[in-house]
């Protein structure tokens, strides 16, 4: 009798645990050879969820990138509008210079944005802010390079009284030659950017990856920063009208090309976002399907468990009752 009671108690405990968790208490014992399929479904669902999470994280990072590029677009458009006014004489050179300096700082801030601790525009080098702020300490090397190039070309410093004799043609040659060289090749990497051009591949499915890398080295950003830098740091307030006009026209041209390239980049990022969204939906759907298949194998039947619970409870109560009656039996009752 004691053994029967102990077994009923164990069975009750098992049924109670299955009712509480909703899953079979001992999957291996219950499913037998089918347990392998349950484990396979569970592992596949975990992989699908991981892929979906990758897609969501990458998509969120690209959304932050789009916001940053939108801000850079606004800054560049505002500067371009001011340059147009400056060429017509309705904006003071000093005001343009100040706006360009502010633009450089704002653009650097956007390009140094991060998501989840990773530099968004660092390319494969996501561990550090990629761009030097020309107006701050980090931009000292870039400012020194500009000053050296200007002095080598004209024999005077930016803003010096002697700069008023620089001709428009000489300034144009400087801007498209030595100054432009500061924004390409080793000069760019040494003075402006630590970004990498390598890819960052995100696993979005079995054997599927999506490259989500963005680099501050993109031509769009270089052109826009080059335009802002030439307005900010060629001493336009002390240049004569022809030389100043050369600066403003070249800067406006660079802003136009930079904005065009930036629009193309935003479009490309949008396509990647759409791809990630599609992959996210597919992986989420797959994960839910696999979870349902796992549930068919591992989930307990609530109705059956309720019935078993009632039956086992009745059996245990009957066993207790019989045990109590037996314990009260005495030989006296049979004499």
Lowest mean pLDDT among 214-228, 236-250, 296-310: 296-310
What values do phi and psi take at 22, rounded to 5? 80, 0
DSSP 25-36: S-HHHHHGGGHH
What is the model's pLDDT at position 8? 47
- Chain segment 262-285, per-residue pLDDT in tens: 999 999 999 999 999 999 999 999
What is the model's pLDDT at position 15? 46
> What confidence tier does 16 reach under pLDDT thresholds 50, 70, 90?
very low
**Cβ neighbours of residue 299 under 8 Å, at least 6 residues apart?**
22, 23, 24
Q: Is the pLDDT of residue 331 over 50?
A: no
Are 41 and 296 contacting, i.e. CB atoms less than 8 angstroms apart? Answer: no
Specify the pTM.
0.80
What is the model's pLDDT at position 316? 47
Using CA atoms, how far apart are residues 190 and 160, in angstroms rounded to an integer?
Answer: 27
Q: Which tokens sit at 158?
A: 């930016």
Q: 3-class DSSP state for residue 94?
A: helix
What values do phi and psi take at 126, rounded to 5? -90, 0
Q: Which residue has the tokens 């990138």?
A: 65
Share of the chain above pLDDT 70, in %: 75
Instruction: Report how far apart, in Å, the C-alpha atoms of 214 and of each of 171, 222, 257 are.
Output: 33, 13, 19
Q: Which residue has the tokens 């037996």?
A: 326
Lowest mean pLDDT among 54-63, 185-194, 282-291: 282-291
Lowest mean pLDDT among 35-39, 99-103, 148-152: 35-39
> What confidence tier does 42 reach under pLDDT thresholds 50, 70, 90?
confident
**Cβ neighbours of residue 136 under 8 Å, at least 6 residues apart?**
105
Using CA atoms, how far apart are residues 306 and 208, in angstroms rounded to an integer?
Answer: 46
Range 44-289 classified under CATH 1.10.10.10: no
- Chain segment 242-257, per-residue pLDDT in tens: 999 999 999 999 999 9
Q: Is the pLDDT of residue 301 over 60?
A: no
- Chain segment 61-84, per-residue pLDDT in tens: 999 999 999 999 999 999 999 999
**Three-class secondary structure assignment of 286-326:** HHHHHHHHHHHHHECCHHHHHHHHHHHHHHHHHHHHHHHHH
The distance of Cα 305 from the centroid of its chain, to the nearest Å, equals: 47
- Chain segment 104-141, per-residue pLDDT in tens: 999 999 999 999 999 999 999 999 999 999 999 999 99
DSSP conformational letter for 134: T
Selection from 199, 190, 195 nearest residue 216 by Cα: 195
Share of the chain above pLDDT 90, in %: 69
First to last CA, the chain: 26
Find the mean pLDDT for residues 181-193. Answer: 95
């Amino acid at each position: 009798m004691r053994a029967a009671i102990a077994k009923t108690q164990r069975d009750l405990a098992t049924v109670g645990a299955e009712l509480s968790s909703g899953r079979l208490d001992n999957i291996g014992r219950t499913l037998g050879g089918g347990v392998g399929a349950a484990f396979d479904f569970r592992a596949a669902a975990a992989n699908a969820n991981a892929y979906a999470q990758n897609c969501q994280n990458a998509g969120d990072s690209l959304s932050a990138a789009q916001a940053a590029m939108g801000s850079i677009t606004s800054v560049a458009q505002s500067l371009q509008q001011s340059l147009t006014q400056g060429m017509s004489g309705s904006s003071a050179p000093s005001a343009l210079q100040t706006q360009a300096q502010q633009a450089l700082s704002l653009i650097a801030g956007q390009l140094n944005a991060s998501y989840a601790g990773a530099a968004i525009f660092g390319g494969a080098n996501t561990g550090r802010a990629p761009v030097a702020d020309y107006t701050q300490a980090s931009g000292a090397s870039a400012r020194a390079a500009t000053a050296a190039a200007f002095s080598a070309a004209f024999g005077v410093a930016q803003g010096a009284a002697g700069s008023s004799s620089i001709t428009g043609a000489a300034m144009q040659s400087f801007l498209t030659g030595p100054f432009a060289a500061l924004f390409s090749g080793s000069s760019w990497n040494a003075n402006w950017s630590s970004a990498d051009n390598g890819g960052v591949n995100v696993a979005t499915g079995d054997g599927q990856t999506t490259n989500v890398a963005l680099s501050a080295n993109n031509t769009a950003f270089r052109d826009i920063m080059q335009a802002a830098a030439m307005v900010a740091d060629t001493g336009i307030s002390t240049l004569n009208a022809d030389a100043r006009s050369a600066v403003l026209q070249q800067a406006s041209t660079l802003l136009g090309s930079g904005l065009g390239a930036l629009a193309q980049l935003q479009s490309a990022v949008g396509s990647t976002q759409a791809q990630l969204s599609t992959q996210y939906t597919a992986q989420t759907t797959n994960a839910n399907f696999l979870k349902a298949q796992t549930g068919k194998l591992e989930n307990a039947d609530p109705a059956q468990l309720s019935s078993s619970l009632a039956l086992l409870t009745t059996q245990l109560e009957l066993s207790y009752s019989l045990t109590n009656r037996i314990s009260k039996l005495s030989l006296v009752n049979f004499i």
